[in-house]
Structure 1
């Protein structure tokens, strides 16, 4: 009888665990790589949800009509914007600014983990046109997940 009870308890635990609803949240850091400190650097985190299906059309051979969503409906107006420092100042690359950004980003990650989120994925990219380009950004997306509450 004890073995059956233990087996049922373990089975129920695995059933609940595998059927848990998971939610995701994306946090983006945008760090300027514009010389002379002229760019803007921020952490952006949306506080409202959007359903992508409202802004999606399916293209087919018979129907190739374009999505007519109004941009104002897509925009998110409720978001957190955390200031970061730019990678460059008048003297060039500023390592102290990078360390400061690391501390702020770490604080954001630690806060989200304390709120029950788990860092699932990280994706980074740099935008720059190449030689002679004085514009650009370093963007990182932090993708968190947790069981829905």
Structure 2
């Protein structure tokens, strides 16, 4: 999505969220993501696409401070007061997000959106570092919390 266009990962996640909402598997949707740059606002883009698909805006909540997976998961609990929720993403991201949620004592499940047929090497490498960062983030969170 960076650079202006909608990428396949984004599209498939929006499609999955719409599918779950339409089939009454989720009642509300929290769109969480980055908006630190003036012309880049992930939650607004997600909400706009979900509304285009027919989901009424009052069922969609925006989290503008989801700058990392840890922040997004933490904020669903702390800001939106949810201890049990579904994360909609691709399998590789859900594995990491569920790990973080479980470490925080939350009841988190994932719904795997459609993924790319051929896995992008850049995404694969990024995910290796993202998983290392997730371990670091969770460790730091508990260190700060206990200190």
TM-score range, shorter chain: under 0.3
What is the TM-score of this pair, normalised by structure 1? 0.23
Return the structure number with greater helix share: 2
**TM-score under structure 2 normalisation?**
0.23
Higher RCO (CA-CA < 8 Å; seq separation 6+): 1
